[in-house]
Amino acid sequence: MSWPTWKLLGTIATVAGLSAGGWVIAAIGFDDRGLATAGIAAALIVGGFGLLGILIVGPWKQRRMSAWISYWIGGSVLRLLLIPAATYLLYSATSLSATALALSVGLTYVVTLFAEAAVLALHVQRTL
């Protein structure tokens, strides 16, 4: 069994794009340019590592269901470690607000993870 590669990649890209747009709208509402910059940076970090994580797992390959669950959990843990490291590097190199950046990354990561899990759950439900 293989995973729905394009659906996963599209979901992650869509969530990252909607997240960036949401943070820009929030920044307009709060009249805070730093919030927009942090939100867009967070969406790029989470979306980039999300897409990379899916491509590394290789969802187009045929594997057993039990193997896929292990790969997905491993990829999620790897992203959970790499995203804060990249966020810290970005924060160290720029003058973004720490609170806005951390909140943006955290919320974007959680929404991306839930959306990805929903796509996978629907796929598994249809194949069983």
- According to the model, what pLDDT value does residue 113 have? 93
pLDDT: which is higher, 1 or 46: 46
More confident residue, 127 or 117: 117
In this prediction, residue 86 has a pLDDT band, given cuts at 50, 70 and 90, of very high
Residue 1 has pLDDT above 80, yes or no: no
For the residues of 35-56, what is the DSSP string, one character each?
A: HHHHHHHHHHHHHHHHHHHHHH
> Would you state the structure tokens that stand for residue 51, as one six-digit string?
């897409």
pLDDT classification of 13: cutoffs 50, 70, 90: very high
In the chain, the N- to C-terminal Cα span, in Å, equals 11
